[in-house]
Amino acid sequence: EIDQAGGCSAIFHAFDERDVQTLMRAEHGMIGSDGSLVHFGRASPHPRGYGTFPRVLGHYARDLGLITLAEAVR
């Protein structure tokens, strides 16, 4: 990709899971992603463009019970 289009994608893990769980419980916290969506079949999307919110709903709300489903979708 670099030699043809001049760009690349990378994943950096900057948060410890314990910190994520603490932030997830914060009363005024908000879930967000800087991933962008692309048209299917036109490019290779970054996984966070489609995986951030299912991860919150499934892992943090349903599996760990850190927040309720209602809190996860507010």
Residues 22-72: tens digit of each pLDDT:
999 998 888 888 877 777 778 777 777 788 899 999 999 999 999 999 999
User: What pLDDT is recorded for position 61?
Assistant: 96
User: What pLDDT is recorded for position 1?
Assistant: 56
* pTM summary value: 0.70
More confident residue, 7 or 59: 59
31, 52 Cβ separation under 8 angstroms = yes
User: What pLDDT is recorded for position 38?
Assistant: 77
R_g over Cα of the chain: 15
Tokens of 21: 């769980």
